[in-house]
A and B are shown apart, each in its own frame.
Chain A
């Protein structure tokens, strides 16, 4: 897997790393970029969902007469009249798309209700207005059953998470409990984090069109390939009969990674009516049908010698799954890697509740796990009377703490050094409440960022034309990461052509299969295959007798070839399966050899109003060790974006699920407070640009690392400003009064 930088045969200046403008910049600033809801089709109909208002039970009666009478209504689909749908399959390692299903519920094929918000009817009408008006008129009677929906009440009964190939539910080194008991200096704290929602500004949307047994869907998805396989499975048609199109996706953050009810039901409604159907979820429907980040309770216990040497690190967590699905979050993952503790114990526990499944949300696990760990480290620093950076550097490991594996690359020390200097950490006086600016209490805090790096299978086709243009075909997703832009940079450098002459076509399942945009792995995975394809192309050109001075296009012209095409990976069924198996074995082998991660150091300054407890983040510096950066502009934006989302998580965001009935009470952007312009100061991003020797081009994924550690840094800064330790997110002002 080790990859050296490709040798360029020309003297052209490298564009990798440069702040190249986004290739879709003009499309996005002129309104030309078309998102899912903006596609139409002749004879189009529109759908709206009806949601259950009980958390568990059976539908005993469903009255659709008033709804059906609304002018323009085509049909009201319920479990009485909806076409049959196959149930989602159990997850199998040979077909990872089986992980795609948001829940195990076979929508409209059952009278069972599994959560408050489950779609139980779909109205199809000639206009979206009529569909929504009618949806409000569907009357449902339930026989309710006992349900468990209160995370705080159920959390003590959580059960240990089992280990599997990709995620450990628990791990240990030495005897951490004994070491903790014996430690002369210790902290033992409990933390909580609330449920959160992704809140991409683009609501989920689907347009489904059937042509006989062939299905075409436009969908706001982060995983074109999984969606295609999943739809084929649910509707009992061959995968090749499904086409998924998603040229632009208006933000995902994990919320569009799985396949949720809206997508399935649009295809189902189109099947039932024989007409194209478009469903654009209302913001409320997004909240009710798409899972969010699980809440958590966490315990972190740290034991140290008086010189700061960590002797014990214990991190345990409880998170929830839906009884109908969801994936465990790696809340304790960073605690196995960040500190050279002599003894380590991590354990994740789970409860199942009658709520919509949880879903991955930007750095699932680490985003909230780093909050507890990094706030605890800060507490220990104060117990020890040490500077919190000094304590971290004192425990900076040489090898992976939990198992002694080699780090693929680790420059966290350097990240802290650079960050501290840029931020002015030396000006901080350690005493809480010791810094002021007028009436404002000023506080500064630090925290580490951590996210594991991975690669996945990606297939690409590269075509060089005699006019000098290069076309890259890859079914990747673009939801703001700048995917097409950075891959064009990769191809331009690899082939020694100007970046303007490279075009990347993406966002369509007819293109070679790419991994979903998740787990911070799309960019590296695609770049990996793209580099291999470019090398293949170079070899072909060499075979054609290319001289060092000759441009690739000149070779084609000389040979009278209109174009030259190469591919990496196979999109046949067998080819795909082989690819996935190859990936799994590589992944496991790789895991045994190296610990690879994106790392960083956050520095934040907050101001707290001593009267009201209002917190304002006033300065931020983040220094990252994220391998080689492909595009200074888009990478900086993505790193900033995670910090912005982290600021929201730290200070304001919270999905309010009524513990009495499991109903989400703030399914709206007015009452769920994501950060606004005024909440965000100028953010200073720096990165070391040290390539990772084990990754293609030396790059590691950066989509998630920057949200990790943010809440910890803010909690630490608030403590420094006020003297108050707040261990429950969000840190709203009432907690500081």
Chain B
């Protein structure tokens, strides 16, 4: 067992957990923050996306102990215009990937603002967040219901 102090959504949580507990399981099983989802537990679907110090990560491949001291934000700690935009544009069906999509989109918008390029960013291309840019940048979040169009529209609306 290891004593770990996790900072989640602005609050400190002392935890006594084994080192193999993932950040995802720490959130879901130990802190009761079940908004973050487990889809594959192998970094292949993005349902577990949370923000660590403002950057999106897959919490299933993060050991909780490793993220001691980091500011973790989960869907429960997010209050963002994207959430209403997802509803308006029907950016989900079953809702299981939605927390991950929203956390990922929040992180993505910040990355883009800071000049992070993507695989489709052309050399010297401007700062416009096109549909193609959003699709590439969001490709780490699978949606099996196929709500991709609505998700992209919601992000586009919020990005302006």
Contact = CB atoms under 8 A, between A and B. Distances in A.
A201 B41 contact: no
A280 interface: yes
A482 B93 CA distance: 7
Q: Which label, helix, strand, loop or mixed, suits the secondary structure of the B interface?
A: loop
A73 to B, nearest CB: 14
A251 B94 contact: yes
B86 to A, nearest CB: 5
A31 B145 contact: no
Contacts of B45: 201, 669
B78 to A, nearest CB: 8
A680 B91 CA distance: 14
B139 A676 contact: yes
A231 B81 CA distance: 44
Most B-side CB within 10 Å, residue of A34, A480, A638:
A480
Interface string A281-309: 01100000000000000000000000000
B127 interface: no
B87 A25 contact: yes
Contacts of A282: 41
Given A38-B28, A201-B37, A637-B93, A251 B144 contact: yes
Given A200-B144, A682-B131, A480 B35 contact: no
B23 interface: no
B83 A677 contact: no
Interface string A670-714: 100011111010110000000000000000000000000000000
A177 to B, nearest CB: 40
Given A637-B90, A677-B151, A38 B44 contact: no
Contact of B21 (A31, A33, A129, A283): A129
A31 B35 contact: yes
A34 B43 CA distance: 22
A677 B138 contact: yes
B146 interface: yes
B135 A677 contact: yes
Contacts of B95: 24, 27-29, 33, 248, 250, 480
B139 A201 contact: no
A637 B135 CA distance: 17
A35 B96 contact: yes
Contact of A201 (B131, B140, B144, B148): B144
Contacts, number: 172
A55 B134 CA distance: 44
Contacts of A21: 87-88, 90
Contacts of A680: 135, 146, 148-149
A31 B149 contact: no
Given A31-B74, A38-B34, A480 B41 contact: no
Contacts of A643: 146
B40 interface: yes
A674 B44 CA distance: 11
A669 B25 contact: no
Contact of B142 (A28, A634, A674): A674
A638 B36 CA distance: 24
A128 interface: yes
Interface string A358-381: 000000000000000000000000
Most B-side CB within 10 Å, residue of A250, A253, A638:
A250
A374 to B, nearest CB: 20
Contact of A668 (B36, B44, B149): B44
B97 interface: yes
B20 A129 contact: yes
A651 interface: no
A677 B47 CA distance: 14
A251 B45 CA distance: 14
B46 to A, nearest CB: 9
Contact of A251 (B76, B93, B99, B136): B93
A32 interface: yes
Interface string B77-112: 010000110111010111111110010000000000
Contacts of B145: 251, 480, 637, 641
A30 B39 contact: no
A249 B95 CA distance: 9
Interface in A616-653: 633-634, 636-638, 640-645
B131 A34 contact: no
B93 A480 contact: yes
Nearest to A633: B90
Contacts of B44: 283, 668-670
Given A38-B34, A637-B150, A640-B146, A128 B29 contact: yes
Contact of A638 (B47, B93, B135): B93
Contacts of A198: 144
Most A-side CB within 10 Å, residue of B99, B141, B149, B152:
B149
A645 B146 CA distance: 7
Contact of B97 (A201, A249, A642, A644): A201
Contacts of B86: 25, 29
Contact of B47 (A201, A481, A482, A637): A201
A30 B35 contact: yes
A33 B132 CA distance: 30
A165 B70 CA distance: 62
B143 interface: yes
Contacts of A33: 95
Contacts of A199: 144
A203 interface: yes
B74 A674 contact: no
Interface string B100-128: 00100000000000000000000000000
B24 to A, nearest CB: 11
Contacts of B139: 676-678
B72 to A, nearest CB: 14
A26 B149 CA distance: 19
A481 B93 CA distance: 6
Contacts of A644: 146, 148
A37 B34 CA distance: 9
Interface string A466-477: 000000000000
Contacts of B141: 677
Contacts of B134: 677
Contacts of A590: none
Nearest to A251: B94
Interface string B48-66: 0000000000000000000
B87 A22 contact: yes
A202 interface: yes
Contacts of A670: 40, 42-44
Given A28-B98, A29-B83, A674 B144 contact: yes
Contact of A677 (B28, B42, B76, B148): B148
B83 to A, nearest CB: 4
B8 interface: no
B25 A29 contact: no
A499 interface: no
B62 to A, nearest CB: 15
Most B-side CB within 10 Å, residue of A28, A33, A634, A682:
A28
Given A670-B43, A678-B136, 14 more contacts: A31-B33, A31-B74, A31-B99, A33-B95, A35-B96, A201-B142, A203-B39, A250-B95, A251-B96, A283-B40, A640-B149, A641-B93, A677-B138, A677-B151
29 contacts: A21-B88, A28-B95, A30-B75, A33-B95, A35-B37, A38-B34, A198-B144, A200-B96, A201-B45, A201-B97, A201-B142, A249-B94, A251-B145, A481-B93, A482-B93, A641-B93, A644-B148, A668-B40, A669-B39, A675-B146, A676-B142, A677-B134, A677-B136, A677-B141, A678-B135, A680-B148, A682-B131, A682-B149, A682-B152
Interface of A: 21-22, 24-35, 37-38, 127-129, 198-203, 248-251, 253, 280, 282-283, 479-482, 633-634, 636-638, 640-645, 668-670, 674-678, 680, 682-683
